[in-house]
Amino acid sequence: MRTRVRNGDPAAFAELFDECARAVYNHAFRLTADWSLAEDVMSTTFMEAWRRRASVDAEGGSLRPWLLGIATNVARSHHRSNRRYRNAASAAAAAHAAEERVEDHAEETAGRLDDRRRIAATLAALSLLKRPEREVLTLCLWEGMEYTDAARALGIPVGTVRSRLSRARARLRKLTDAQLLEEKREPTRTNRQITGDRGYAVRSAQEGNR
Amino acid sequence: MNASPSHRPHPAEWTETQSLLPSAERDLPAGRHQFHKEQMMARIHEDLRTSSRTSATSAVAPVKRPNPFLRRAILLPAAAFALAGVVVGGLALTGGETDGGKTALATGPALTTTIGVADAKGAPQLLERISLAAADTSAPAPRKGQYIYIASKVADSYIKTVGDKSEAVSDELHSRQVWNSLDGRDGWLIEAGATSDKGITLKSDTPFSGAYDALAELPTDPDALLQRIYRASDAVRDPEVPRDQAAFVAIGDLLTESYPPAEVGAALYKAAAKIPGVVAVDDAVDATGRHGVAIARESDGERTEWIFDKKTLQFLGERVVVVKATAGDPLKVGTVTHTSAITERAVVDAAQQVPGQAS
């Protein structure tokens, strides 16, 4: 497969697309919090992959990490600021909530509701992270990549992957704490200490705090 | 899998992430997987046809125009279907195309031309006159069940790679005949080099965006029309093609192999006059050698020209000319990369029927 992709065999790209389009699409969604942007990123990613086919190593396993690395770069050029990510995440959360209200609950399977809530939780978690941390966590957690693969896909040293992940973990821990606090109905202490920067206005509106 | 070199647990094992796993994913919206796949394949086939860039590609037999109806994909993979906002989905574009049953087409040295002088100031005035000429309503309106017939002479230039040698060549000028049903769901194509003498069906679940019915329902207010064209072309545009160029080419696609109602044709020209960068060209020659004036727009070193008769201002044809040398483009300035001359536009009673034939 790698050799065929390197040589520019159209059929190999067709197979690669069928195999990986969905994964790239969902990865792009996690990075952009926007389904339609994710679709753009997905399509650009494959065009880009075609353009860069000569850079594929002849040796190696699945090309999925390579594609996800390209997708990460493409998504980065779309979404520069954390603030924009949070805006998109709250818009997506609102859209998902609306879907939930509109759909006929009698026909709604528990699985789909679960999925929707898990996606909302994913966005909430990713909203807390800075972009570089989000990129690394997305590859390692949902794509199940090892540190070395993530490092190669992003073109960064393994040590950097590790340090980004540990920062991501620290931020997520605060989220878990904050959720516990919320359950105890102490809403005043939610966001300020979590995000660590100034872009939290969107989230607080979403949660109805003053 | 390699053992993780870290002593720390993998993120999947963190307590902090347990509520986020297993991952929840979505499929692409209905039809979009196929849509994007076809766009990618169109790009790939086009690159293979025109490119001599890398040794990687020369190992592959150049694939010549995998789908003759998608010619415009050369210029603009996405906007070719802009107004409908959908791709011609029913047509097979995905890999594995064979050359079986196609007539042979000779190639020769790349076509070249002299480049006309562009004048930005003259464009609105010329388009106004063209629009007035297009508003003439003497052409018969088609009836339900009839077909639009367009005959043209066309040729394309591209880089041909044989072994490790590449050169710019042009197809010999050849005839192309297209029939489209009014709803754009049925049609027929006969083109040398692309189909057999008998031709191929253009039947599709996704209607052709330049079909008569689709054109007839377009707004005739130029501003509303232009807005609609931008919106539709933005939705599917190749990100590498500038927005205004995509809109210009989208309008051109609606004017070339089509039969727009008079008021819509007139409005399309008025809409084109509002696109930044559109120029008038004092002299251009169509595929059959007819000279005329042109409305044009340049992007990425190539100028797309719509050619009109100097006196009657009837649409003669369209061509794309290299006007600036760009890095990485092996085509020389003056090369005509695509040229077409419309020789007949008519309403007929059935697909594969030529005008004048009894039904």
Amino acid at A87: N
From the list A7, A43, A162, the residue facing B59 with the nearest CB is A7
Q: Are B191 and B237 in contact (CB under 8 A)?
A: no
CA distances (Å), B182 to each of A116, B136, B211, B244, in order? 43, 21, 6, 28
Amino acid at A119: I
Residue B359: is its pLDDT beyond 60? no
Min CA distance, A199 vs chain B (Å)? 23
Gap between the Cα atoms of A52 and A8, Å rounded: 10
Q: Percent of chain B at pLDDT above 90?
A: 45
Least confident of B184-188, B199-203, B292-296: B199-203
Gap between the Cα atoms of B341 and B284, Å rounded: 12
Amino acid at A57: D
**Inter-chain contact B40–A42, Cβ cutoff 8 Å?**
no
Min CA distance, B37 vs chain A (Å)? 7
Q: Are A88 and A34 in contact (CB under 8 A)?
A: yes
What is the mean predicted confidence (pLDDT) over B251-263? 92
CA distances (Å), B329 to each of A58, B53, B302, B316, in order? 28, 9, 10, 28
Least confident of B1-5, B214-218, B238-242: B1-5
ipTM exceeding 0.85, yes/no = no
Q: What is the pLDDT of residue B253?
A: 87
Nearest to B163 by CA among B52, B64, B74: B52
A143: which 2 tokens? 């794509």
Gap between the Cα atoms of B71 and A120, Å rounded: 43
Cα angle B244, B245, B249; round to 5: 120
Residue of B28, B52, B98 for testing the chain A interface, max A β-carbons within 10 Å? B28
3-class SS at B303? Answer: strand
> Is B26 within 8 Å of chain A by CB?
yes
> Is B138 within 8 Å of chain A by CB?
no
The position carrying tokens 């791709």 is B87
A159: which 2 tokens? 């040590």
Give me the residues of A, 88-117, that contact B with CB < 8 A: 114-116
Q: How are beta strands B174-181 and B200-201 bridged, if at all? A: unpaired
From the list B5, B17, B96, the residue facing A158 with the nearest CB is B5
Q: What is the pLDDT of residue A198?
A: 31
Gap between the Cα atoms of A16 and B72, Å rounded: 25
The model's confidence at residue A192, banded by pLDDT at 50, 70 and 90, is very low
Q: What is the dihedral of CA B235, B237, B242, B244, to 10 degrees?
A: -60
More confident residue, B8 or B4: B8
Nearest to B65 by CA among B114, B103, B21, B33: B103
What digits encode the pLDDT tens for the residues A110-161? 666 677 777 888 888 888 888 889 999 999 998 888 888 898 888 888 888 8
Cβ-Cβ contacts under 8 Å, A120 against chain B: none
Give chain A's length: 210
Residue B31: is its pLDDT beyond 80? yes
**Inter-chain contact A115–B24, Cβ cutoff 8 Å?**
yes
Least confident of A4-18, A171-185, B60-74: B60-74
What digits encode the pLDDT tens for the residues B124-145? 999 999 999 999 888 889 999 9
Gap between the Cα atoms of B27 and B20, Å rounded: 19
What is the mean predicted confidence (pLDDT) over A186-198? 36
Q: What is the pLDDT of residue B133?
A: 94
Residue B85: is its pLDDT beyond 90? no
Q: What is the pLDDT of residue A205?
A: 34
Question: Which residues fall within 8 angstroms of residue B79, CB to CB, at 6 or more apart?
Answer: B72, B233, B236, B237, B238, B241, B246, B247, B249, B250, B253
Q: What is the pLDDT of residue B325?
A: 81
Cβ-Cβ contacts under 8 Å, A158 against chain B: 5
Cβ-Cβ contacts under 8 Å, A118 against chain B: 20, 23-24
> Is B121 within 8 Å of chain A by CB?
no
* Domains defined along chain A, listed by start: 1-79 (1.10.1740.10), 81-210 (1.10.10.10)
Residue B105: is its pLDDT beyond 90? no
Nearest to B328 by CA among B54, B39, B35: B54
Q: Are B102 and B194 in contact (CB under 8 A)?
A: yes
Residue A208: is its pLDDT beyond 50? no
The overall average pLDDT reported for chain B is 80
**Inter-chain contact B95–A10, Cβ cutoff 8 Å?**
yes
> Is A22 within 8 Å of chain B by CB?
yes
